[in-house]
Chain A
Amino acid sequence: MFFHIQLERNMQLHPRHFGPHLRDKLVAKLMKDVEGTCSGRHGFVVAITGVDDIGKGLIREGTGFVTFPVKYQCVVFRPFKGEILEAVVTMVNKMGFFAEAGPVQIFVSNHLIPDDMEFQSGDVPNYTTSDGSVKIQKECEVRLKIIGTRVDATEIFCIGTIKDDFLGVTSDPGAAA
């Protein structure tokens, strides 16, 4: 789920940036530092949409670095248990398949794949129904439900299922090709 929230961060800026474009430099550094990171609490920071407030800088003794408290708005993405996501399959093996929904890795074990789908090993490992109408392989898109999340300080890993109504392959590059 996506959220638009305000976060705060203390930015350290090198003295060489102290000049007419200090603010721009600060914002650029903020984006570089923050976007794409993951916090267990808020999820993945997808994008910074604006800087609300830059507080008074504090010069660090000895180094000359300056610390600015910066308040910024950002879009975060945090997966939740029970959430339905669309994800791209990245790897298929006998134990199940891995998929990615943006920055989130999701594993769907073979127990959570409908029983009528069988694993087919080979050049392109895939799960296929007995009549061959549905095929899950690398690069195809699936809709899945998250049944568990493991949130670390810097990482979120999910377990999904496609064994439910309206879940499964949504587009199949193998079939199109």
Chain B
Amino acid sequence: MSIEPFNRLVRLAARAFYDDITMKGDNQPKTGRGDNRGMAVVVLDALTRRQWVREEDLAKALKLHSKQLRRTLRFFEEEKLVTRDHRKESAKGAKIYSAAVAATADQKITKEGEEKMKMHTHSYCCLDYAQIYDVVRYRIHRMKKKLKDELDDRNTVQEYVCPNCGRRFSAFDALQLVSPNDEYFHCENCNGELVAVSDKLAAEEMGDGDENARRRRQEKMKDMLQKIEEQLKPLTLQLARVKDLPIPEFGTLQAWEARANAAARISGDSSANDSSRSSQAQGYAGTPMPFLGETKVEVALSGVEAIEERAVADTKPTSVKVLPPWMIKQGMNLSKEQRGEVKAELSTDQMSQPDDEKKAKAESEDEKSFQDEYVKAYYAALVQRQEEQAAASKRAQQVENNGTSTSYLSNVVSETPSERQVGMKEKREEDDDVEWEEAPPAGKAFKVADLNIQADYADASGGDDDDGIDWEEG
């Protein structure tokens, strides 16, 4: 999952919305130096380059006061851009984290000086990309909606206020407010003329709501809407780009740590030192149980490629063997094959010849003649026992079995299961030649005679087939 588009989104959003946010505390009226506008952007940018980060580390890296940073982060937490996690931990807990950091990060954060055994509350923070995506979209949507509604006064219930007594009425009260004398609304209290209120974005520079002011306001609004469209264009484009991408997810702090450490151990890339450190930390860490459990899971996850590869490698052949539909299909092909071969060779040698050649190029001429002989004998047997069908099928089987040792054809036709598999594999490599399928129609002349025999034959072969393949197709 590539994180880059999302980081770009965050950076754009930061510049669009949080550029001039000051993170000033209320009790710090310092001017000049206290002006920390743009800090929000810097912090967000820094966060895009990290995953979970301890806030002190971040503060150090940014050369900010940790209090200041915390204030900023709290703000972002409220804005739903950042997830934070606080936990009490000893130096060891910190160690786990630093191991995780070392494992994942390109930048190594070293911490040596903090080996106190006291429990400290540490805060960690991380960008929540999924939420950021939603938050930014929602923000833009709200901005536009507000302006648009404002623009055409849509769905706004007009309010009126009495300039004398300050009482407010809504348009729902209109029926009671109309006076028979003139065309204005009158206050129920003091009978003063009511004035339409427009507590809208645009400042109340309009006085008595006369037409000109209203129009000016509308212009202003339209302008603003246009500006929004145009200035937020990069952001919206980025949103669109990110839309279908998988959103990077770091999970909770614990999960992330566990995963990072596990990944480090699996890959063992960074250094043995790292992994040993993390495992050591794990050994007597303050949060061992969930961590251990997580680790196990994560090991499986992080080792996933290798396992998957192996699995793929294994499953291919096994599934081929096991998968019932596949077997059935192959079995049916095989039966066709048998039929086709038998019939084809009964009718003419040529029909089956190309296939045979394909299958076994090394076959010699005398073998072929042997085949012919065999086939002729087989056919003769078939014809002979056409009436006594069961017997015929048995006989055919026998004939085949006799031929097994010598001829290749019989290898294919008659079978011990293992031999058949050899045949199947070959078939697979040839990727389903059509010739086999075409063979039966070629042998049509014999079909009438063959039909019942074939059925029996199929039955018989089905009987001796220990795989229990369906032969019903015959």
Contacts and interface: CB of A to CB of B under 8 A. Distances in A.
Instruction: State whether these chains interact.
Output: yes
Interface of A: 91, 93-96, 98, 105, 107, 109-112, 115, 118, 121, 125, 147-148, 150, 157, 159, 161, 163-164
A112 B183 contact: no
B153 A93 contact: no
Given A111-B153, A115-B215, A163-B154, A98 B175 contact: yes
Interface stretch (B89-97, B155-163, B411-419): B155-163
B387 interface: no
B175 A125 contact: no
Contacts of B215: 115
B399 interface: no
Contacts of A115: 214-215, 218
Contacts of B178: 91, 93, 95, 98
Contacts of B183: 93-95, 121, 125
Contact of B185 (A91, A95, A150, A164): A95
Nearest to A158: B172
B154 A161 contact: yes
A98 B157 contact: no
Given A148-B171, A150-B172, A157-B174, 20 more contacts: A91-B178, A93-B178, A95-B183, A95-B196, A98-B175, A107-B172, A107-B174, A109-B158, A110-B196, A111-B153, A111-B156, A111-B196, A147-B156, A147-B157, A148-B155, A159-B157, A161-B155, A163-B152, A163-B153, A164-B154
B174 A96 contact: yes
A94 B75 CA distance: 48
Interface in B141-180: 152-158, 160, 171-172, 174-175, 178
Nearest to A118: B211
B184 interface: yes
B443 to A, nearest CB: 73
Contacts of A164: 154
Most central of B158, B178, B214, B218 by chain A CB within 10 Å: B158
Given A91-B178, A93-B178, A95-B196, A112 B184 contact: no
Contact of B153 (A112, A118, A148, A157): A112
A169 B14 CA distance: 49
Contacts of B157: 147-148, 159
Contacts of A148: 155, 157, 171-172
A161 B158 CA distance: 11
Given A93-B183, A95-B185, A163-B153, A112 B158 contact: yes
Contacts of B185: 95
Contacts of A163: 152-154
A9 B411 CA distance: 92
Interface in B123-152: 152
A159 B172 CA distance: 7
Contacts of B171: 96, 107, 109, 148, 159
Contacts of A157: 172, 174-175
A48 to B, nearest CB: 28
Contacts of A147: 154-157
B184 A107 contact: no
A148 B157 CA distance: 7
Contacts of A96: 158, 171, 174
Contacts of A94: 183-184
B427 to A, nearest CB: 66
The 3 closest A-B pairs by CB, nearest first: A93-B183, A107-B174, A109-B158
B19 to A, nearest CB: 35
B184 A95 contact: yes
A112 B153 CA distance: 7
Given A95-B185, A163-B153, A111 B175 contact: no
A93 B184 contact: yes
A149 B152 CA distance: 20
